[in-house]
Amino acid sequence: MNSRTLARYVKVLKTLSKKSEISEKSKSRLEKEAKVRELSELLMKYRTLCIIDLNNMPTQQFKELKRLLSNYGVVRVVKNSLLARALEDLKLRNYEEVIKYLSGSNAILLTNLNAFEIFRICERLKSKRYARPGDIATSEVVIPSGPTNIPPGPSLSMFGKLKISTQVREGFIWIAKDVTVAKPGDKISNELASLLRKLDIKVIDVGLKIKLIYDEGLVFTKPEELRLDITSFKNDLLSSVRRAIDLATALAIPLPEVIPSVLSKAYNNALVLSAEAGIISRENIHYVLSRAISKAVTLASIISTKTPELGITIKPQAEQPTKPSESKPVEASKESTEVSKEEKKEVSEEELAEGLSSLFG
């Protein structure tokens, strides 16, 4: 083969190589455009975008959490450049703020839940991983009693160093009883981390680290601000409802929720007013008598302390007087409507004097 023919072959190979490179670049460009178009469609379909930081996230734990997150929307691991292009193409409100946080390794969750719901879900979802030396225990670490798959040998000294009682049975180490080897906040030692791995015990909580939540134009870059105290909120709401009902009752506003309280208050006020005015009826007689006895007992108690020579003794009362407002308002019961003949009789002055005499001994 002469030099001219060789040069021709080289030229053809270069031409084919360039065409191949162009073809690969074109294919790559088309793939990127398709991914950007798909992201744009997802961004338009869902109201909320949550960016999750994958830095220092173990792959196995993320797979578990991804499976759980998929129940609430679409979870993808995306390139920052492609997501940025999709946001720029759509020109969503405040999209520039989202692009600022597109760095490092990220996953996205697209969902129709609002930002507060997403934060609550992500905060609740946890996975476990093996402890590493130097880790801080996130919860109490307990090694349960029972058999292990560890044969006796050098490992026995590790159990002894961690003050774990053991026995050797059937050729394996048995743990005699449950042992708490670490409490929340304790640092995991080399020996403990190694033993926990051998026992296949995962103790370190792994959660989702939210970098940003974009909810219909609102950008939340500090997810902890989305934490809600549901119990406190519920108590505040109930307290507000009670105060509103009390105010409506005081103003006698005729609402279905307020009318029973208004009628109750009016009924009790009428009983007290009639008793104070000296009007005796079957509905208030019990309150009138109880109130009179209470005042008499109080007066007798004062007199007995100031003039003990009178020898006044106070007999214990079976029940204390109760204001109508402190009891539940009810319609006249059988006891109040069926008044005995004794209650209908008028009390003479002699009977009153005899009653006071017995009261003061």
* pLDDT tens digits, one per residue of 18-71: 656 556 667 777 888 888 889 899 999 999 999 999 887 888 888 888 888 888
Asked if residue 276 and residue 350 are part of one domain, the reply reads yes
58 close to 129: Cβ distance less than 8 angstroms: yes
Domain coverage including residue 24: 15-125+208-226
Asked if residue 183 and residue 40 are part of one domain, the reply reads no
- Is residue 314 one of the residues assigned to a domain? yes
Q: Report pLDDT digits (tens) over 125-163.
A: 877 888 888 888 888 888 888 888 888 878 788 888 888
Length of the chain: 361
- What phi and psi values does residue 76 have, to the nearest 5 degrees? -140, 145
Residue 305, CB half-sphere, CA atoms under 13 Å: how many? 5
- Is residue 237 one of the residues assigned to a domain? no
- Is residue 254 one of the residues assigned to a domain? no
The CATH number of the domain holding residue 65 is: 3.30.70.1730
Asked if residue 198 and residue 319 are part of one domain, the reply reads no
Edge-first strand order for the sheet with 48-53 is 74-77, 106-111, 48-53, 209-215, 218-220
Whether the pLDDT of residue 304 is over 60: the answer is yes
- Is residue 213 one of the residues assigned to a domain? yes
pLDDT at 50: 92
CA distance 8 to 20: 19
- Is residue 7 one of the residues assigned to a domain? no
| Start-end of H helices in the chain | 3-45, 59-69, 80-90, 95-99, 115-124, 155-161, 190-198, 230-250, 259-276, 285-306, 334-337, 341-344, 349-359
Asked if residue 219 and residue 295 are part of one domain, the reply reads no
CA distance 204 to 196: 11
pLDDT at 232: 84
How many percent of the chain have pLDDT more than 70?
80
- Is residue 8 one of the residues assigned to a domain? no
Asked if residue 215 and residue 115 are part of one domain, the reply reads yes
CA distance 68 to 70: 5
Asked if residue 221 and residue 120 are part of one domain, the reply reads yes
Whether the pLDDT of residue 341 is over 60: the answer is no
Residue of higher predicted confidence among 311 and 169: 169
- Is residue 252 one of the residues assigned to a domain? no
CA distance 195 to 193: 6
Q: Report pLDDT digits (tens) over 7-21.
A: 665 566 666 566 565
**In the chain, how many domains are there?**
3
1, 21, 90, 311 from 9: Cα distances, Å? 11, 18, 49, 137
Asked if residue 135 and residue 214 are part of one domain, the reply reads no
CA distance 162 to 179: 10
Show the tokens assigned to 189: 């030692």
Asked if residue 322 and residue 183 are part of one domain, the reply reads no
280 close to 346: Cβ distance less than 8 angstroms: no
CA distance 329 to 263: 9
Asked if residue 297 and residue 213 are part of one domain, the reply reads no
Asked if residue 196 and residue 217 are part of one domain, the reply reads no
Apex 240 CA angle, 234 and 243, nearest 5 = 145
- Is residue 5 one of the residues assigned to a domain? no
Asked if residue 214 and residue 94 are part of one domain, the reply reads yes
Asked if residue 96 and residue 38 are part of one domain, the reply reads yes
pLDDT at 208: 84
42, 44, 64 from 50: Cα distances, Å? 13, 14, 18
